Structure 1
Amino acid sequence: MISRLLCVGGLLLACSFPSHAQDAKAGRDKARMCTVCHGDLGIAVAPNAPNLAGENAAYIANQLKAFKSGKRQHEQMTIIASGLSNEDIADLASWFSKIKIEATAPDL
């Protein structure tokens, strides 16, 4: 009985998440369109653009989905996100989240 419950619970859990595999390599290729504002490695070069390097993948994906749905508005990002598939969003989020950033304290 318990094993059946665990099996059913596992199936329900597996079905409740999107089936889009996150592909950081594909995300890196897709991120070329992002470099004008967010830089080659996710460190913003535009003054009002956020840094994306090392950001949580779920956060990035949620923001892109909000731009795509119109829930969040930004002139350029709404246009860009409208052309992204769920797979594109997962790949981009994976790429930016995997970029390692390092902070070091200055010698004083």
Structure 2
Amino acid sequence: MANWRAVFIGFVTTIVLSIVGLAIPGIGQLVAGLGGGFVAGFIAGGGLLRGAWHGLLAGALGGIIGAFLLGVVVSLTGLALGPIGGLLGVGVFAFATAIALIMALESALAGAIGGVLSG
């Protein structure tokens, strides 16, 4: 069973580090995913698999919500462009979802390390 407190704290850590990481594009987002996953895995404890699971959940939650918000913003902005603007939003959502998958996997790796180090 998932420790949702650990997942939520890891998610919030990811969001905060992502905002701070905007100053260093690319690397800042990578560090945010790793940091949030590590925190989720460390708080959940229980070893390698439990830490990886909680890191994955925290990273996926942050990535999916971020992809959704980015897709909505681009779609609403694209309404001024007519039908092409809506397709632009769908394309951006698909790209952001792929990035979210990568973020979830890196968070799972960091969560596994956090889970091992916690106990």
| TM-score, with length taken from structure 1 | 0.32
- Structure (1/2) with the larger helix percentage: 2
| TM-score, with length taken from structure 2 | 0.30
Max Rg structure: 1
